[in-house]
């Protein structure tokens, strides 16, 4: 989406029961990584089920700008001819990541290990997000950031390391983007790059590196942590990749089915990587009927078909230790909590302040303008559920796709309609969200 596209407001109204079987689009995290890593192999990688959302399309364009041959060969089917580890070419112009923190931070890592200079930029939302966290370890590896906008933000120029060094790194925040940036830079360094996470975050980079032939060893550290050791300078080999459906996108129709009385839907082929399923665990604790119909392995990940039925829910305490496994799901969990009976306390949400919007403040505001009692207590979000939501509010989405989708789901069973000021950003992660939801019976209209 260009920065200047006109806003597209949308309204959700009370819907009759939702029914049907749907398959939500491919996982966003895996789709970015598939393109970035395939571009570092030598030869052709074929990818199926790629998410064709704007964030991922921007990463595909960036890979082309860095010298890879990237072609769409069918719906969700892409072919990438890579340039080899350390082989990205000098781009002719700035790299525009649009709304995408993942694309931007992961490519910073990959570029940091190549002897090129690249200007990184994005939309007004991405320009507000912190980049220093990634630049710090990349500087230790030998890259240099110049012309950095105030506060360690975009736009900035990254000069890749001529002789990248392997480092041992302990991320100060639980962030898969940060971990992945360091590992991707470490690919070009001789010797072992080590990342020690206090709290394990999504492990798609580690898994995909192994799939492409790199030597990556992962050990458990304590109860929640991991130590990841990557041997540098591997020759990454092309591979076939199939992207499973995104659990973070599945969360929206799943939530809608839970709160709209009489609903009964099936979500097909949802990725069930345990570092991504904190929401499902939490919802089951709240009394949700989520049945695993079949479970299998596909593309190196566990996937399942989930049957979801409307459920009487109660509030829950969600521990901070669960945040990494459901970090993008708090806005929609807060909506579900408003339809539950009793208090839900979600702990340790400081990272929500640096997403596409300040999601902690914006989620609280979304609920408040629709008559739900909500409080922010330090880094915790507290929602007082009464089983019903008055609605009637217009939600400011702040260029944030997950807020837009969460607000629209809320309106499917609130007393009065819920509107969003701009639904356009939904296309960053979930193209055809509106059509898929309408196909289930959701009342969504401009
Ligand atoms: O690595 C990834 O693919 C992602 C990591 C998370 O961000 P952080 O690394 O900032 O926690 C998440 O919020 C984002 O949607 C995707
Ligand atoms: C935080 C998100 O994405 P990103 O960091 O890639 O912009 C998200 O999709 O919720």
Tally the residues of the chain: 446
- What is the mean predicted confidence (pLDDT) over 141-147? 98
Cα 73 to Cα 62, 77, 163, 421: the distances in Å are 18, 5, 37, 35
The mean of the pLDDT values for the chain is: 97
Gap from CA of 312 to ligand 2 centroid (Å): 30
Domain boundary among 219, 242, 265: 242
321 assigned binding-site residue: no
Tell me, yes or no, whether 2 lies in a domain.
no
Based on C-alpha coordinates, what's the Rg of the chain? 21
H helices then E strands: how many in the chain? Answer: 12, 24
Statement: residue 2 has pLDDT above 50: no
Q: Please, which residues have CB within 8 angstroms of residue 231's CB and are 6 or more apart in sequence? A: 191, 192, 214, 215, 216
| C-beta separation of 46 from 240 below 8 A | yes
Who's near 37: CB < 8 A, 6+ residues apart? 205, 208, 209, 212, 236
pLDDT tens digit sequence for 304-348: 999 999 999 999 999 999 999 999 999 999 999 999 999 999 999
In whole angstroms, give the CA distance from residue 443 to residue 193: 51
Same domain (yes/no): 225, 308:
no
Over residues 54-80, the mean pLDDT reads 98
If phi > 0 it is left, if psi is from -120 to 50 it is alpha, else beta; for residue 191 that is left
pLDDT value at position 299? 72
**In the predicted model, what is the mean pLDDT of residues 63-87?**
98
162-209 per-position pLDDT tens digit:
999 999 999 999 999 999 999 999 999 999 999 999 999 999 999 999
Q: Whose CA is nearest to atom 8 of ligand 2?
A: 328
Domain assignment present for residue 216? The answer is: yes
In a domain, 1, yes or no: no
Residues 319 and 341 in one domain: yes
Residue nearest to atom 5 of ligand 2 (CA): 101
Same domain membership, residue 120 and residue 235? yes
pLDDT in tens, 270-305: 999 999 999 999 999 999 999 999 999 877 899 999
Residue 172 covered by a domain: yes
| Alpha helices per DSSP H over 224-353 | 247-259, 278-285, 330-339
Compute CA 204 distance to the chain's CA centroid, rounded to the nearest angstrom: 12
pLDDT tens for 104-138 read: 999 999 999 999 999 999 999 999 999 999 999 99
Same domain, 217 and 229: yes
222 shares its domain with 129: yes
Distances (CA, A) of 361 to 2, 330, 358, 398: 25, 12, 6, 11
Q: Is 199 in the pocket of ligand 2 (CB under 6 A)?
A: no
Centre of ligand 1 to C-alpha 431, Å, is 19
Does some domain include residue 267?
yes
Q: Whose CA is closest to 100, among 166, 41, 54?
A: 54
**Residues 292 and 378 occupy one common structural domain:** yes
Q: Do 262 and 394 belong together in one domain?
A: yes
CATH of the domain at 59: 3.65.10.10
Is 101 known to sit in a ligand binding site?
Answer: yes
The residue range of the domain holding 375 is 10-26+244-445
Q: How far apart are the C-alpha atoms of 8 and 4, rounded to whole Å?
A: 12
| Domain end position, chosen among 242, 263, 288 | 242
Residue 164 sits in the same domain as residue 193: yes
For residue 336, tell me if it sits in a domain: yes
Active-site residue, from 328, 379, 380, 422: 328
Judged against a pLDDT cut of 90, whether residue 437 lies above it is answered with yes
85 DSSP assignment: T
CA distance to 37, 94, 135, per residue, from 180 (Å): 11, 22, 13
Structure tokens at 5: 């596209």
Q: pLDDT confidence of 219, banded at 50, 70, 90?
A: very high
Stronger pLDDT, 299 or 441, i.e. the higher one: 441
**Do residue 290 and residue 390 come from a single domain?**
yes
Check residue 245 and report its DSSP letter: B
Given this model, what pLDDT does residue 3 score? 46
> Is 202 in the same domain as 250?
no
Query: How large is the average pLDDT for residues 137-154?
Result: 98
Ligand 1 centre distance from Cα of residue 102 (Å): 6
- 384 assigned to some structural domain: yes
Residue 3: inside a domain, yes or no? no
Residues 248 and 110 in one domain: no
Give the relative orientation of helices 28-38 and 54-65 as an angle to the nearest 10 degrees: 10
CA distance 201 to 177: 9
Whether ligand 2 lies within 6 angstroms of the CB of 58 is answered as no
Q: Which atom of ligand 2 is nearest to the CA of 28?
A: 9
Show the tokens assigned to 32: 């970015």
Rounded to 5 degrees, what are φ and ψ at 28?
Answer: -70, -45
Q: Average the pLDDT over 404-411 and give the result.
A: 98
Classify burial at 19, counting beta carbons within 10 Å of its beta carbon; exposed 0-12, middle 13-18, buried 19 or more. Answer: middle
Span from the CA of 382 to the centroid of ligand 1 (angstroms): 23
Same domain, 18 and 125: no
Predicted ipTM?
Answer: 0.99
Count how many domains the chain has. Answer: 2
> Looking at ligand 1, which atom is closest to the CA of residue 174?
11
Of 196, 227, 242, the last residue of a domain is 242
């Amino acid at each position: 989406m260009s920065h200047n596209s006109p806003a597209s407001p949308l309204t959700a109204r009370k819907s009759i029961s939702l029914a049907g079987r749907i398959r939500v689009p491919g996982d966003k995290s895996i789709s970015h990584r598939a393109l970035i890593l395939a571009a570092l192999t030598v030869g052709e990688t074929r990818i199926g089920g790629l998410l064709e959302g704007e964030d991922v399309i921007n990463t595909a364009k960036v890979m082309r700008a860095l010298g890879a041959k990237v072609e769409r060969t069918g719906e969700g089917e892409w072919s990438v001819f890579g340039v080899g580890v350390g082989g990205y070419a000098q781009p002719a112009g700035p790299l525009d990541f649009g709304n995408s923190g993942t694309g931007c931070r992961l490519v910073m890592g990959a570029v940091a290990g190549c002897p090129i200079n690249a200007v990184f930029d994005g939309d007004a939302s991405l320009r507000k997000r912190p980049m220093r966290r990634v630049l710090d370890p990349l500087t230790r590896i030998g890259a240099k950031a110049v012309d950095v906008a105030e506060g360690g933000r975009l736009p900035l120029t990254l000069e890749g390391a001529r002789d990248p060094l392997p480092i041992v790194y302990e991320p100060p925040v639980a962030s898969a983007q940060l971990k992945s940036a360091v590992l991707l830079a470490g690919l070009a360094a001789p010797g072992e790059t080590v990342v020690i996470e206090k709290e394990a975050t999504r492990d798609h980079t580690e898994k995909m590196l192994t799939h492409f032939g790199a030597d990556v060893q992962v050990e458990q550290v304590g109860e929640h942590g991991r130590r990841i050791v990557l041997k540098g300078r591997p020759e990454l080999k092309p591979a076939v990749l199939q992207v499973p459906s995104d659990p973070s996108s599945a969360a929206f129709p799943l939530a809608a089915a839970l709160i709209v009385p009489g609903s009964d839907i099936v979500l097909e082929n949802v990725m069930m990587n345990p570092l991504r399923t904190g929401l499902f665990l939490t919802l089951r604790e709240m009394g949700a009927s989520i049945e695993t119909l079949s479970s299998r392995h596909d593309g190196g990940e566990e996937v399942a078909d989930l049957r979801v039925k409307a459920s009487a829910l109660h509030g829950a305490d969600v521990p901070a230790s669960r945040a990494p496994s459901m970090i993008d799901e708090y806005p929609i969990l807060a909506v579900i909590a408003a339809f539950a009976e009793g208090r839900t306390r979600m702990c340790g949400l400081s990272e929500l302040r640096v997403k596409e919007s300040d999601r902690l403040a914006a989620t609280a505001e979304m609920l408040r303008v629709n008559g739900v009692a909500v409080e922010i207590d330090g880094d915790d979000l507290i929602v007082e559920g009464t089983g019903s939501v008055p609605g009637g509010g217009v939600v400011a989405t702040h260029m944030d796709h997950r807020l837009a989708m969460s607000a629209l789901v809320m309106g499917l069973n609130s007393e009065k309609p819920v509107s969003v000021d701009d639904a356009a950003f939904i296309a960053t992660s979930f193209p055809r969200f509106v059509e898929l939801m309408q196909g289930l019976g959701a009342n969504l209209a401009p």
